[in-house]
Structure 1
Amino acid sequence: MITSISVLLSLLVLALAWWGWGAHSTGTRGALPPGPTPLPLLGNLLQLESRRMDRVLMELSGRWGPVFTVRLGLRPAVVLCGYAALRDALVLQADTFSGRGAMAAFERFTSGNGIVFSNGPRWLKLRNFALGALKAFGLGTRTMEDRVLEEAACLLGEFQATAGALFDPRRLLDNAVSNVICSVVFGKRYGYGDPEFLRLLDLFNDNFRIMSSRWGEMYNIFPSLLDWLPGPHHRIFRNFAELRVFISEQIQRHRQTRQPGEPRDFIDCFLDQMDKEQQDPKSHFQDETLVMTTHNLFFGGTETTSTTLRYGLLILLKYPEVAAKVQAELDAVVGRTRAPRLEDRARLPYTNAMLHEIQRFISVLPLGLPRALTRDTHLCGHSLPKGTFVIPLLMSAHRDPTQFKDPDCFNPANFLDDKGEFQSNDAFMPFGPGKRMCLGAGLARSEIFLFLTAVLQRFCLLPEGNPARIDLTPHCTGLGNVPPAFQLRLVAR
């Protein structure tokens, strides 16, 4: 049955792709780097296997080099593979590679609004404003650390309430992580049993999974065609609409209760800026931009960090000896009478290495988010024209054998020197390097450290079955690496 559906879908794609995309193909002028021979209409899709796209692209790089072209349907995409190519492009030519490549699913929802998928002066203006506003509410300060620690204490209480029974930690982790960004964006946190908020977190998770599946990949390649075909991809936009209603309601409540010039949170700051620029017809501070920017911060500050924490727990269940070594270091340096703080990181080399290794090993956004060239350029002997759609294969830096001792295995020693001290590595780029680095990278790093160390300090992690049988293979690989569902048992230490 599945094979028949796949054949039917392929036939429909062949028959209708020209109708759906022929007039809207996003070609670029000039020659692009060589790559595998594409099929008519489908491009290289049959080679880019579902759930293995990142791996297949790395294999293709072995033949075509660190910069090569694949066709996603009719759209040419230049792939950057390996640390050297990613550094040369995204760091050394940061301005040139600072454009955002269009993704149909996000484009349909955002229309190029917000921070993540905007371009040009709008993106620069919104990013600088958001950074300033977030810093004003504690981003990168002790105040924000205290907020995370308060939320970590709430999370530990919820974990304690499981009383040693098996449970799925996804919702609790989602809630804890999201509450940190909600305190800044909305000025409040939400209880772990709040049904409305749990519904929103489920919508985030559902969208992340669908957009990381083959359905999400296909929609971004053949949007006009997939609009006519049934499938789970349609849920993306129903979920978006429901999230939009929630955000719009929050903004309306802020309008009714705010004191202009006395901002309580990010939304108030944005409304103040709208007031200042209301007479400017070219202002980027509009209602729609506020909705999309709030969504970007809300989603970006929740899903990838929560996914990293969840994947981290699964990895530690599989490697209990690593968890035990971290716990021994925490006991020796921090003890059990106070919570670990960010200032402790320098004295916790193995723990710090373990947290970096989790992020390196899973590469939560393996293909990164697409870039677009803002001007003509040269890279690795190739000429690339303005507008070129670029896939920065972040996973390839994390699995680069020239940069890591044991790139294909989970091994904290990848971030330790010969003396057992923590050793940073420029090839570590889970948040994307350059001008488009994730806005909340610093907050995410803090949350990953504070939440995971708090859990390990308090609890022993017990798997549902034999640790050796735990499968770390992502459930979805596309936009994001999504861990398989699992349950665990927590026992107080």
Structure 2
Amino acid sequence: LYDPTLVVTGGQCLLLFAAVFLLTADYIKNRRSASFPPGPFPLPIVGNMFSVNYSRTHESLTQLAETYGDVFSLRMGQVWMVVLNRFDVLKEALVNQGDSLVDRPDSPLQQEISHGLGVIFSNGNLWKQQRRFALSTLRYFGFGKKSLEPIILDEFRHCAKEIDGFQGKPFAPHLIINNVVSNIICSLVFGHRFEYSNEKFKKLMAWFEQSLQIEASVWSQLYNSFPLLMKCLPGPHQTVKQIWRDTKDFVRAELKDHKKNWDASDPRDYIDCYLSEIEKTKGQADSSFDEENLIMCVIDLFVAGSETTSTTLRWAFLYMAKYPEIQEKVQAEIDRMIGQSRQLSMEDRAKLPYTDAVLHEIQRIGNIAPLSLPHITSKEMQLAGYTIQKGITIIPNLTSVLFDKNEWETPYTFNPGHFLDKEGKFVKRAAFIPFSAGKRLCLGENLAKMELFLFFTSFMQHFTFAMPAGKKPILDFRFGATAVEPPLFQDFCYCL
């Protein structure tokens, strides 16, 4: 006779067996040796994915370091990560043992976006070829050299004219500053700048911001842990993929225009040089130069050369409005050493130690790239007494360095004195590593340093920034993949 209770019991047994099997398989697959860095206990399947506050990820990781030490582990879904904290640990890993950490992890979401191409997330021979070519080509067009100064200063004039159009009324500098900084990389890559009113360009800047924020959220972790499932589900991760498809279309349109007037004997910009390199290396078995790689490299250069620099400048305005007495001292030094009529140059940096110190402190406390970019171990390595196997994702927690009480006298206070000696001269600090360290050091570091100095000092030379009457600057942030950003659309007043 048919007995339903036996069927139910049998079904329950099957479910119980499946659950035990999955949990056992998960445990066996993800267990680590006693010499592996410690960390919070991971839940089955999802690991520590929901143990982190994704709106303040860097702070969560810094707090975990207080419990588990400077080298600790997390399991995000099926991916093991080791988080590195404090300067000595990061230096040992990224510099002294840099050969073991030269690669980037091949995460499913990033693979969907870049397909292993470009210069930021590529690895091996492809990365070496693309990075070497990018640096040599951009140097040819003035990257990090004095010949780039006129382009930066000319862009400031466009910006100053735009700001003057507000006639002293409050305005939100967010979009303007994005366009100002991005136009410098545009001149190097595309050979021309974009007007601030260009709708396509404005949309491109908005896409970058939106995507980088989503990529630092739990949606990214879910996609990377369960890609087959997440591909079928709606959510912000689908938005990210569409943004980068649209961004590639934008670059393809520029590439199409370039081809119409391309002359290999007279290169105008990075794209022209890349097209020549494609022709030059055609047929070579180890060549990584083709149009799809070109498109991804251009996008990488945009992100590396604009997002963090524009964010730093917005932080600069916030801190100058927050601390008007510091802004006055910066302006007084510029007035005394340069005046208000002469254009600044990089040679003036040595004459402006206080201004330089303020700019460095903005980068330190602004903490633009708090977790840098991930690395992956290419072979087993020993670090701080622990054994880290090949294939483990490494997260350099720059926050733990830039706010370390053992490295900075007042780590949570805006204090330009961190970069000044008793005589008021500028001093370098070893723990100042906002661009990370090692062989994967930020590609755009030299350009960023030049832009930050020339733009910041030019703004301070011509404008005073303050909040509208009755308002105070908000020094909170929005966490993103490569930047901790100040709030959007915060209004400023200014005077000449």
TM-score, normalised with respect to structure 1:
0.91
Which residue does 1:349 correspond to in 2? 353
Kept in 2: contact 1:476–1:483 (CA 8 A):
no
Offset of residue 435 of structure 1: 0.4
Kept in 2: contact 1:50–1:477 (CA 8 A):
no
Offset of residue 123 of structure 1: 0.6
> 2: CA distance between counterparts of 1:342 and 1:209?
33
Task: Select between 165-174 and 472-481 the one with higher mean Cα deviation.
Answer: 472-481
Which residue does 1:387 correspond to in 2? 391
Q: Would you say 1:148 and 2:152 are equivalent positions? A: yes
Kept in 2: contact 1:370–1:389 (CA 8 A):
yes
Which residue does 1:6 correspond to in 2? none
Kept in 2: contact 1:349–1:420 (CA 8 A):
yes
Structure 2 residue runs of 5 or longer lacking an equivalent are: 1-18
Offset of residue 105 of structure 1: 2.9
> 2: CA distance between counterparts of 1:382 and 1:203?
41
Q: Residue 382 of structure 2: SS of its match in structure 1?
A: strand
Which residue does 2:89 correspond to in 1? 85
Q: Would you say 1:301 and 2:305 are equivalent positions? A: yes
Kept in 2: contact 1:168–1:487 (CA 8 A):
yes
Deviation readout 1:292-323 (Å, 9 max, x if unpaired): 11111122212111111112211222222221
Offset of residue 188 of structure 1: 0.7
Once the two structures are aligned, what percentage of the paired residues are identical?
A: 38
Closer/same/farther in 2, CA of residues 430 and 222 from structure 1, 3 Å limit: farther
> 2: CA distance between counterparts of 1:187 and 1:274?
19
> 2: CA distance between counterparts of 1:84 and 1:42?
31
Offset of residue 224 of structure 1: 3.7
Closer/same/farther in 2, CA of residues 84 and 271 from structure 1, 3 Å limit: same
Task: Select between 150-159 and 221-230 the one with higher mean Cα deviation.
Answer: 221-230
- Code of the aligned partner of 1:175: N
> 1: CA distance between counterparts of 2:412 and 2:223?
31
Which residue does 2:100 correspond to in 1? 96
Which residue does 1:470 correspond to in 2? 473
- Code of the aligned partner of 2:383: L
Deviation readout 1:274-302 (Å, 9 max, x if unpaired): 11111113310112111111111122212
Closer/same/farther in 2, CA of residues 211 and 464 from structure 1, 3 Å limit: farther
Match of 1:34 among 24, 32, 38: 38
Which residue does 2:483 correspond to in 1? 480
> 2: CA distance between counterparts of 1:211 and 1:317?
31
Kept in 2: contact 1:212–1:480 (CA 8 A):
no
Q: Residue 237 of structure 1: SS of its match in structure 2?
A: helix
> 2: CA distance between counterparts of 1:323 and 1:220?
44
Kept in 2: contact 1:29–1:385 (CA 8 A):
no
Runs (4+) off by over 6 Å? 25-30
> 2: CA distance between counterparts of 1:113 and 1:69?
29
> 2: CA distance between counterparts of 1:335 and 1:265?
34
Offset of residue 479 of structure 1: 4.2
TM-score, normalised with respect to structure 2:
0.90
- Code of the aligned partner of 2:266: E
Which residue does 1:272 correspond to in 2? 276
Match of 1:179 among 180, 183, 202: 183
- Code of the aligned partner of 1:364: I
> 1: CA distance between counterparts of 2:477 and 2:38?
30
How many residue pairs get matched? 473
Q: Residue 99 of structure 1: SS of its match in structure 2?
A: coil
Kept in 2: contact 1:28–1:385 (CA 8 A):
no
Offset of residue 27 of structure 1: 9.2
Offset of residue 465 of structure 1: 4.9
Aligned-residue RMSD, C-alpha: 2.2
Q: Residue 159 of structure 2: SS of its match in structure 1?
A: helix
> 2: CA distance between counterparts of 1:218 and 1:412?
41
Kept in 1: contact 2:215–2:480 (CA 8 A):
no
Structure 1 residue runs of 5 or longer lacking an equivalent are: 1-14
> 1: CA distance between counterparts of 2:33 and 2:108?
21
Closer/same/farther in 2, CA of residues 77 and 465 from structure 1, 3 Å limit: farther
- Code of the aligned partner of 1:206: Q
> 2: CA distance between counterparts of 1:117 and 1:307?
22
**Larger Cα-atom Rg:** 2
Offset of residue 70 of structure 1: 0.9
- Code of the aligned partner of 1:126: Q
Which residue does 1:167 correspond to in 2? 171
Task: Select between 423-432 and 470-479 the one with higher mean Cα deviation.
Answer: 470-479
Offset of residue 466 of structure 1: 4.7
> 2: CA distance between counterparts of 1:414 and 1:216?
36
> 1: CA distance between counterparts of 2:113 and 2:371?
21
- Residue pairs, 1:176-255, within 5 angstroms: 176-255=180-259
> 1: CA distance between counterparts of 2:318 and 2:207?
22
Which residue does 1:5 correspond to in 2? none
Which residue does 2:9 correspond to in 1? none
Deviation readout 1:203-237 (Å, 9 max, x if unpaired): 11221232244444544444444334433332211
